[in-house]
Structure 1
């Protein structure tokens, strides 16, 4: 049975007939009851579940960072779901039943701030990755004090290392430290920029895959 909490014109919670009502993040919603599926293992559904599972496994270690990277997209949905929506549509490659992540197409952040100019990364010292970029602080909407944001994803160990509030656009470089256990593993490197007060971020860029010294 549904309960009306704000009068007849307000939202309701619970079930009324074939409709379910509730509230999420202060947003009243209604949805219909799920219909039964005659064949839950149809080729299309198996394919969809395989793609979904591949992306969930990739994004799960990034959950905490995505609250920063996709916070500007978290409108009527969580930051994780916003990241899932974009990457599910753009960053999966392969064919059923074997799907993989296309790391070059992944976004770990999404926003309107200008991206890094010609970023690159190298690992020449044990446990360190050196990022560098060119100064584009004169571009529209870019600021000299925008801070670099770095993400290193290790597919072998399913681990992520992040750095927020790094060197500025004009600084041109930033070192990120990774665990000693990453030595010999190929990792995927991403960079974004965030404004000084942290309210706006750029789309992330795939910098490169590299083997950690």
Structure 2
């Protein structure tokens, strides 16, 4: 219990709320009570580890994430929305360890309609060819929507982003992969941004391909 001396304007000893009153060599002083540190539980430590893994994975494509997760109005930042979605949909923790299921990863989220992948081929000189079919033209699917492609190489831990590579109406694209990707398996996603940049589609996982 705290004790006042000389009324409310005077000194006190003990603790009131988060303030502590004390006396040292006749000098009265107050200080904030120290905070008790709690050691995170095993579950909390695991959650922090998972969160850090996903955050570090997405950081290299933060610019794309800021566009791809711009549409929601929940008060969160685009990167926090993106991380939260991966935690819910794409993180695996089992006897093989902690990892991301790339086929379930979502790198943009929005209302534009997606296209149907018709063909994905690796051509000579590390050219990745992708062909698709579009839904009927509408407010959610316009010929001038811009197609974006993200390639991820887990061996090199490297992303390559092709922003606004072609228009939706082109129905095909040829992407030049880096020379050092040769011999590695890569994962590919596709998504759209409207011509004015205000709308996006939810990304589509195109597939995994061995670059040879």
C-alpha contact 1:136 1:170 (8 A) present in aligned 2:
no
| In 2: Cα distance, 1:187 partner to 1:67 partner | 23
Q: Tell me if 1:54 matches 2:60.
A: no
| In 2: Cα distance, 1:98 partner to 1:74 partner | 34
Deviation for aligned residue 1:108: 0.7
For 2:173, the equivalent position in structure 1 comes to 174
Unaligned runs of at least 5 residues, structure 1: 1-16, 19-34
Q: Tell me if 1:109 matches 2:108.
A: yes
C-alpha contact 1:120 1:208 (8 A) present in aligned 2:
no
The 3 A distance-change label for structure 1 pair 166 and 211 is same
Q: Tell me if 1:163 matches 2:162.
A: yes
C-alpha contact 1:128 1:212 (8 A) present in aligned 2:
no
Query: Can you list the C-alpha shifts for 1:28-74, whole angstroms capped at 9, x where unaligned?
Result: xxxxxxx855432x221232123223212321222222122112236
Deviation for aligned residue 1:147: 1.5
Unaligned runs of at least 5 residues, structure 2: 1-16, 19-34
The 3 A distance-change label for structure 1 pair 36 and 56 is farther
TM-score, normalised by the number of residues in structure 1: 0.76
CA RMSD of aligned residues (A): 2.3
Query: Can you list the C-alpha shifts for 1:153-212, whole angstroms capped at 9, x where unaligned?
Result: 111111111112222222110112221011111111000011111211100000101012
Answer with 1 or 2: which has the greater Rg: 2
| In 2: Cα distance, 1:44 partner to 1:211 partner | 37
- Where do 1:119-198 residues align within 5 Å? 119-138=118-137, 141-198=140-197
